[in-house]
Chains A and B, each alone.
Chain A
Amino acid sequence: MPKLLTTEQMAEFASSGCLFFDELIDEQTNKEFLDDIGHTDIDKADSVNDFYKNIKATSSIPRIPAGTPLKEAFPKNSPLDKIFKNEVVEGAITSLVGSNTIVDHQFLHITFPTKYFNQANQRQMSQANHQDSTIDPRSTFDVQLFYFPTEVTKEMGGTRYHPGTHLRIVNEMAIAKYQNILGQKSIVCKPGTIGIFHSGLWHGAGVNFSENIRYMFKVRLQPTEKQELLWDPEKKYQPLPNRALYWTDESKDQTINDILMKPYPWQEADTNRLDKINVVKFWRLLTGHKKMDVDYWLTRIENELY
C-alpha cells in the first residue's frame, strides 16, 4: 500500500518546494542499481563520453517515450522498478501528482571528479542556478524525483537548491547570474536517499572535488488529474480559523499555517509578502478550499467593495 504524505509534509512541500527521504532505498537495491549501470572504480573509467556510452549500452534503464505512464515505464524487478514501488516513494508520488502520473523524461546525471577536467584540459565549473525546462505559468505542477544511489559528501558537490523559490516564475538560465543566494543548500546524503522537487525549484549541480564519481538519477513526472487532496482522499483537511496578527498570541502551538508561512532568508522585504500570497494560492489549489487564507494575506485584498 502506498504511504501517502501527511498534511504537514504537503505544507512543507507547498512552502519550500522540496521533500527528502533519507536512506529510504535499501542497500541491496542501491547495489543492484550501481551494478546495473556498471559503476566502477574511478581508475577504470577513462572519458566522460565513453562512460555514458557504456551505461547506455549495458544498463536496464530503458528509453522511455515522453508521456509514458510511470506504471509501464521500467522493466519488472529492475532496480528502478523496485524504487518506484517503494511504499514511501509511491505514496509521495501519488500525493503530489496522482496514481496515473506520466514520465516526462529521465536522466542519469553524473558529476565527474577533477581528474577528468585536468585530462581534458577543461575548466571545472559548477552548474549555474536555473529553473528546469522553460517558463511555466501553469497552476499545475510537475515533480522531479532524485535518487542518490551512493553517499554524497560535501566535497562531492551534491545538487544545490534554493528552498522556497519554486513559485517564482523565471526563464530557465535567466537566473544564472545569481552566483550565491542566501539560504542556499547542497545535498549531502547517505546512499538510497530520495528527494522530490517541485518543477519550479531553482537549482544547479555542484563541483565534484572528491575522488569518486557522483550519480543522481532523475525522473520528471507529470500529473494527469487535478492535484487536489490527492494525499487526503477522505478529505479530512479543514483550514484553520483566523488568528491574531502582529499583536500575536505566543501561547498558541505551531500549526500547519506556520509551516506555510515560513520565511526564507533570500526573500526581499517587499516581495516576500507576494511569496506568502502565492503559497496561500497554491494551498487553495492543493486543498480545494478556494477561499481559505492564512494570516489574512488574501482576504484583506479580496475585500473589494467597488
Chain B
Amino acid sequence: MAKRQKVLVLYLKFPSLEAEVISWATFDGTGKKLHMTGDSDTPPYPTGLDALLDGWRLFQASQAIPEQPGEEHRTSYLKHEFFFEKLEEGDF
C-alpha cells in the first residue's frame, strides 16, 4: 500500500482556527480529483476548526508580522493562511 498526501489550504477571517473560511485551495495527491482555480463557490468547511474535526492535520500557519512603519495601510496578500494535510493509503 502506498501513501499519498492531500493538501488543504484555508484562509481565515482572523488568525484563529475558529474563524470563517474566506479562501481555499485543495491539491489532491491521490489523483482522484483534479482541483483548479475557480472550481467552487462554497468553502469546503465553514471554519478552520471544522477542518480539524473532519480529520485534517494542521502543519503550517502564517505568522503575525508587524506592518512596516510608514506602510501600515498598505494592503496585499490574504493574511491568515493555514495549511492542512491528510494522508491516504491505497494502490495508486
Binding site for B on A (CB under 8 A): 123, 125-129, 157, 160, 167-170, 174-182, 184, 186, 204, 206-207, 265-271, 274-275, 277-278, 281
B75 with A265: CB separation less than 8 A: no
B22 with A181: CB separation less than 8 A: yes
B23 with A126: CB separation less than 8 A: no
A179 with B37: CB separation less than 8 A: yes
B39 with A179: CB separation less than 8 A: yes
Binding site for A on B (CB under 8 A): 9, 11-14, 19, 21-26, 34-41, 43, 73-80
| Nearest B residue (CB) for A273 | B73
Rounded to whole angstroms, the CA-CA distance of A37 and B22 in the bound complex is 40
| Nearest B residue (CB) for A130 | B37
Main secondary structure of the interface of B (DSSP, over half): loop
Rounded to whole angstroms, the CA-CA distance of A125 and B73 in the bound complex is 35
Residues on B with C-beta less than 8 A from A179 are 9, 23-26, 35-39
Residues on A with C-beta less than 8 A from B25 are 177-180
Main secondary structure of the interface of A (DSSP, over half): loop
* Pair count A-B, CB < 8 A: 91
Residues on A with C-beta less than 8 A from B73 are 274, 277-278, 281
Q: List 18 A-B contacts (CB under 8 A).
A: A126-B38, A126-B39, A160-B37, A160-B38, A167-B75, A177-B25, A178-B23, A179-B24, A179-B36, A180-B24, A181-B22, A184-B41, A206-B38, A266-B23, A268-B13, A269-B19, A278-B73, A281-B73
Rounded to whole angstroms, the CA-CA distance of A168 and B74 in the bound complex is 7
| Nearest B residue (CB) for A177 | B25
Contacting B76 at CB < 8 Å: which of A127, A168, A277? Answer: A168
Contacting B23 at CB < 8 Å: which of A169, A180, A281? Answer: A180
Please give the distance in Å from A192's CB to the nearest CB on chain B. Answer: 24
Residues on A with C-beta less than 8 A from B24 are 179-180
Residues on A with C-beta less than 8 A from B35 are 179
Residues on A with C-beta less than 8 A from B36 are 125-126, 179, 207
B9 with A177: CB separation less than 8 A: yes
Residues on B with C-beta less than 8 A from A182 are 21-23, 43
Residues on B with C-beta less than 8 A from A123 are 34
- Starting from the known contacts A176-B37, A268-B78, 15 additional A-B residue pairs (CB-CB under 8 Å) come to A160-B37, A160-B38, A168-B76, A169-B74, A169-B76, A170-B77, A178-B78, A179-B26, A180-B43, A184-B38, A184-B41, A204-B37, A267-B22, A270-B79, A274-B74
Rounded to whole angstroms, the CA-CA distance of A204 and B39 in the bound complex is 12
Contact (A269, B14) CB under 8 Å given A169-B75, A181-B22: yes
Rounded to whole angstroms, the CA-CA distance of A184 and B25 in the bound complex is 14
B75 with A275: CB separation less than 8 A: yes
Rounded to whole angstroms, the CA-CA distance of A181 and B34 in the bound complex is 18
| Nearest B residue (CB) for A186 | B38
Residues on B with C-beta less than 8 A from A269 are 13-14, 19
Rounded to whole angstroms, the CA-CA distance of A204 and B77 in the bound complex is 16
Residues on A with C-beta less than 8 A from B43 are 180, 182
B40 with A180: CB separation less than 8 A: yes
| Nearest B residue (CB) for A165 | B75
Rounded to whole angstroms, the CA-CA distance of A207 and B73 in the bound complex is 35
A180 with B14: CB separation less than 8 A: no
Residues on A with C-beta less than 8 A from B76 are 168-170
Please give the distance in Å from A200's CB to the nearest CB on chain B. Answer: 11
Residues on B with C-beta less than 8 A from A207 are 36, 38
Residues on A with C-beta less than 8 A from B80 are 268
Please give the distance in Å from A266's CB to the nearest CB on chain B. Answer: 5
Q: Sorted from nearest, which 3 A-B pairs have the closest CB atoms?
A: A179-B25, A269-B14, A181-B23
